[in-house]
Structure 1
Amino acid sequence: MSMSLVICVKRTQVLAFNEEIYALRKNLELPLTSKLRPFKPYLHDVGQLRVGGRIHHAPVDYSAKHPILLPGDQLLTQRIVWDHHVKNLRVKAETLLASIRSRYWILSGRKAIKSVVNNCWPCKRRSSKPMPPLMASLPVHQLTPYRPAFAFTGIDYFGPLTVRVGGRGVRHEKRWISLFMCLTTRAVHLETSDGLSLEEFLLCFTRFVSVRGNPEVIYSYNGTNLVTAEQELRQALEELQTIMSCQQIEWHFSPQYGPHFGGVWERLVQSCKRAMKISVRTRLVTDRVLRTVVAEVAALLNSRPLTHLSMDPDDPDPLTPNHFLHGGERPYTPLKLSDEENVHVTAKKFLQSQTIIQHFWNRWLREYVPHLTERRKWAENRPNVTVGDIVLVI
């Protein structure tokens, strides 16, 4: 240790432990309020205050057996901690504490080391995490009952999947899966696409509309094929009126580079991929087999429970998307059933079917919607980023 460092250490110890040093020089007991009593300190030959401790016979260096005592709130201590932090390649607090204790014993060492490490910009940059704002409330289209399935739809693509095409001259081609998800009932409709072009998307969209009806509102990620599709639909509305009634579609796109805006359907994309991996595995299938697998996966996902699955056989079955897919063909409007006794028998059957549908929607409001209340992430209300803040773009 250099003479200048010895002098600085002695001066720092005098400022922090003056009473203890005086007592040791006079061979007196340390004050009862002293923080150094557990260490049994002593004065070294050069006048430094060192730890006495209980490991005198340990086979380690003298500095490790009797480290120099330092206060945690002095400038010299901060400089020593910073020097060890830089020399040890900016290690974390616990590793740095173990390294320093081979030579120095800092009172409240963890607190002193963290105060230094937390102000290290390279360490901040390495350990920084995103600060998302509080999760917003669910959009109204996820909470609107009494509408047909797929009235409010989310669209996404996933793939590609490799298929075998041809007889003797076998070749391999790629296929994608277009996912249409009902935002309200979480029902799924899957279509196989030969590519990601505008033409292929319009073909998938036309097949979807032919089976599920015209959606009122569509949400999708900001893909070029879907953006172009919306422009194409708007430009060709008059020509397509006899084929598709698309003039009433309200289309919303997620912000660019914001896939988490479509988390509601990204979760189902993951479920689709998992189901298809189990079905197809590593086999190279044909187009016909792939279309069959896609239909089976859609049926499987539409039979999944949305609400709690009770173990009591007397409890009603859990709600599934199939309850809403097969419940009725038209948008449902609640009917007054007070005059049920005076209606025709045929009307009674109709009212009975409508009562069943209303029962499903009431259960949806009572059992499923309350589970959407909890924020499972982004639960803290953090301040928004403002001009002048130093941030890391990830």
Structure 2
Amino acid sequence: MLLFRFEHQRLKHAGPQALLYNVRDSYWPVAGRNLARKIVHECVTCRRFRGKTLTPIMGNLPKDRITPSFPFLRCGVDYAGPVLILNRKGRGAKLIKGYICLFVCFVTRAVHLELVSDLSTDAYLLALKRFISRRGKPSDIYSDNGRNFVGLMTEFTKFISTCSADIVEYATTQNINFKFIPPYSPHFGGLWEAGVKSCKHHLLRSLGNSHLTFEELTTLLSQIEAILNSRPLSPMSSDPSDFEPLSPGHFLIGRPVTAPAVADYIDTPTLNLNRYQRIEKTRQHFWARWVREYISEMLIRTKWKTKKPDLKPNTLVVLKQDNIPPLKWSFGRILYTVPGKDGVSRTAVIKTASGIVRRSFSTICPCRTQHWKRVLPRRGHVGAVI
């Protein structure tokens, strides 16, 4: 076993097959294949690189995403960028950094894009005010907490850490609930991450190597916003007599910011309604199709279909981090898990050397100890020297 460990380290942590091949150059170990697998499996360095995170069963859709409401009443916000902007037209123009602030509706998946000039509290609040003026005041805004951005980790972390108090204070005065997702868990905000990806898809292909001024780029983002809001929410039918598929634009056109509550006209004959009631019936018809076509499609689970055992308190784990190598990942012990509304835990509170943190299961690698049976060598079963 000592020989296999030495060769495993000398060969820079080679796999079982390569390890056994090199040992057999000088020795013929009995049951060498099993011993090589055991050495590689028990190697601490190799196990840290092979660490697998937990994948709990796919949860139900949040209540905020399946409850009919006005567009952008409950939404998520994210930043994309930086993008390079010309400070003026003509020769001698300089390039400055700009950022795209994206708002996405939880119910209709409608997208609203705002171009901001810098990462500051004032720029963010001005973008939020423009959004409220055009789309109406939201009741809940979900956001990253600044630790999910990998490419611009330093800038975004500094922005959120210095401006979060002012942002939350403004949202509180406006009766808006501002909520953050767990750290290092961008998949908790998959809705706005997908929106950023779609926005970049059109933006990069439209711009190419050219640079635009602030007004020109704002116009381009408005056109991209219109394209994103024209995408179908449900699969399109091949039958020409079927309804046109719903899109976010169906829910954005014709809705006043302060629309009053109205009666349900779905089952009322159209001939018995006046013009205003017919418009309301058309809007309610969109919501009925939204429940029948879009929500039924979203309820299908494509992966993570099985329920797995929960993490127990005092379990030793490794915390996966994207910005540092695996050998520098920190250890911790589970204090307790946080169950969701469906009773399935997807986040845990962990005690580390630097303090108590909260992480999602997708960044936790349990350190399960494999108990090997101790096999004593029998007489005559000694490796023969060649």
Q: TM-score, normalised by structure 2?
A: 0.69
Match of 2:186?
A: 259
The counterpart of 1:289, out of the listed 189, 208, 216, is: 216
Q: Is the 8 A contact 1:148 1:332 kept in 2?
A: no
- 2:247 is aligned to 320
User: Are residue 352 (structure 1) and residue 286 (structure 2) matched?
Assistant: no
C-alpha RMSD of matched pairs (Å): 2.8
Letter in 1 for 2:227: L
RCO (CA 8 Å, sep 6+): is it higher in 1 or 2?
2
Q: Using the alignment, how far apart are the partners of 1:363 and 1:106 within structure 2?
A: 69
The Cα of 1:377 is off from its aligned counterpart by: 5.4
Larger Rg: 1
User: For residues 129 and 282 of structure 1, do their structure 2 counterparts lie closer, same or farther at Cα, with a shift above 3 Å needed?
Assistant: same
Kept in 2: contact 1:340–1:348 (CA 8 A): no
1:103-122 CA-to-partner distances (Å, cap 9, x unmatched) read 66677765443233212212
Structure 1 residue 85 displacement after superposition: 2.8
Stretch moving more, 83-92 or 196-205: 83-92
Q: Whole-Å Cα distance in 1 between the matches of residues 140 and 117 of structure 2?
A: 25
Number of positions where the alignment pairs a residue of Structure 1 with one of Structure 2: 302
Q: Structure 1: which 5+ residue stretches go unaligned?
A: 1-77, 238-245
Letter in 2 for 1:335: D
Say which of 158, 170, 173 aligns to 1:232. 170
1:335 alignment partner in structure 2:
264
Equivalent residue in structure 2 for 1:298, among 212, 216, 225: 225
Aligned 1:1-394 pairs, distance under 5 A: 81-102=4-25, 110-145=33-68, 147-167=69-89, 170-222=93-145, 223-224=160-161, 225-234=163-172, 237=173, 246-247=174-175, 249-326=176-253, 328-329=255-256, 330=259, 335-336=264-265, 340=269, 343=272, 347-376=273-302, 381-384=308-311, 386-394=313-321
**Percent identity for Structure 1 against Structure 2:** 35
Residues 171 and 178 in structure 2, CA contact (< 8 A), matched pair in contact too = no
Whole-Å separation in 2 of the counterparts to 1:104 and 1:360: 75
Cα displacement string for residues 234-260 of structure 1 (whole angstroms, at most 9, x for unaligned residues): 3xx3xxxxxxxx23x222122334333
Give 1:310 shift.
2.4
Secondary structure of the corresponding residue to residue 335 of structure 1 = coil
Distance 1:206 1:341, change over 3 A: closer
Report how far residue 353 of structure 1 moved: 2.4
The more displaced of 157-166 and 252-261 is: 252-261
Q: Which moved more, 1:332-341 or 1:84-93?
A: 332-341
Aligned to 1:19: none
Which secondary structure state, in structure 2, belongs to the residue aligned with residue 118 of structure 1? helix
Unaligned runs of 5+ in 2: 146-159, 322-386
The 1:106/1:178 distance shift into structure 2, 3 A limit, reads: same
For the 8 Å contact 2:264–2:284, the answer to whether it is kept is: no
Greater fraction of residues in strand: 2
Contact residue 13 and residue 46 of structure 2 kept, 8 A: yes
Looking at structure 1, the residues matched to 83 and 227 of structure 2 have their Cα atoms a distance apart, in angstroms, of 19
Deviations 1:336-384 (A, max 9, x none): 56664884xxx43333323322222222212221332344555552432
Equivalent position SS for 1:174? strand
TM-score by length of 1: 0.68
Q: 1:105 to 1:202 in 2, by over 3 A?
A: same
User: CA, structure 1 residues 338+130, in 2 after alignment: closer, same or farther (shift >3 Å)?
Assistant: closer
Separation (CA, whole Å) in 1 of partners of 2:231 and 2:185:
28
Distance 1:303 1:341, change over 3 A: closer
Q: Distance in 2 between matches of 1:166 and 1:339?
A: 57
Question: Structure 1 residues 188, 96: CA separation in 2 closer, same or farther (over 3 Å shift)?
Answer: same
- 1:175 deviates by 1.5
Greater helix fraction, Structure 1 or Structure 2: 1
